[in-house]
Amino acid sequence: MMFSTYSHNYAMSRFGVFSFGVLGFVLLILVIVLKGLALWQAAKRGEKWWFIAMLVINTAGLLELIYLIFFAKLKFDQIWKK
């Protein structure tokens, strides 16, 4: 089997497609938490269009951070309160 230096065969790597490492896993968890918090706040505040935008558009957590900080105007200690 001949391999090109410009392609990567995921089947030959040790963990397949999921070999993104610890940093990738931590970033994935962070993005999921941010998305969950932002969606929760948008639903609680009745902001349907923000909820739909954050649910559909994947921006690696940037849209969620912008919403939580600038539009929901929440401080860190307010995010976890009911």
CA 35/CA 28 separation, integer angstroms:
11
Cα separation, 51 vs 28, in Å, equals 20
What are 65-78's pLDDT values in tens digits? Answer: 888 888 887 776 77
Tell me whether residue 48 is in a domain.
yes
Q: Give the pLDDT confidence score for residue 68 in this predicted structure.
A: 84
Q: How far apart are CA 37 and CA 50, in angstroms?
A: 13
Using the predicted structure, report yes or no on whether residue 53 has a pLDDT greater than 70.
Answer: yes
pLDDT at 58 over 70: yes
On average, the pLDDT of the chain sits at: 77
Range of the domain at 44: 34-82
- Rounded Cα gap, residues 52 and 43, in angstroms: 10
Report the domain count for the chain.
Answer: 1
- On whether residue 21 sits in a domain, the answer given is no
Digit-coded pLDDT (tens) for 19-39: 667 777 888 889 899 899 999
Handedness of CA 6, 10, 13, 18 (dihedral sign): positive
